[in-house]
Amino acid sequence: MSADTPRRIVLLRHAKAEWSDASDLERPLADRGRRDAATAGRKLADTGLAFDLALCSTATRTRETWKLAVQEMPRRPRTVYEDRLYEASLGELIALVNETPDDVADLLLIGHNPGMHALADALAGQADPEALARMTRSGFPTATYAIVEFTGSWKSVEHGTGRLTGYWAPHD
* Domain annotation covers residue 134: yes
pLDDT of the residue at 38: 98
pLDDT of the residue at 126: 87
* Domain annotation covers residue 1: no
Looking at residue 117, what DSSP letter applies? Answer: H
pLDDT of the residue at 154: 95
Binding residues for substrate: 61
Q: What is the pLDDT along the chain (172 residues), one digit of tens a residue?
A: 556 778 999 999 999 999 988 899 999 999 999 999 999 999 999 999 999 999 999 999 999 999 999 999 999 999 999 999 999 999 999 999 999 999 999 999 999 999 999 999 999 988 999 999 999 999 999 999 999 999 999 999 999 999 999 999 998 7
* Domain annotation covers residue 30: yes
* Domain annotation covers residue 61: yes
Q: Is 14 annotated as catalytic?
A: yes
Structural domain boundaries enclosing 127: 6-168
Number of domains in the chain: 1
Q: Is 159 annotated as catalytic?
A: no
* Domain annotation covers residue 62: yes
Binding residues: 61
Q: Say what the pTM is.
A: 0.95
* Domain annotation covers residue 101: yes
* Domain annotation covers residue 40: yes
* Domain annotation covers residue 20: yes
What CATH number should be reported for the domain holding residue 14?
Answer: 3.40.50.1240
**Looking at 18, 64, 72, 87, which residue is catalytic?**
87
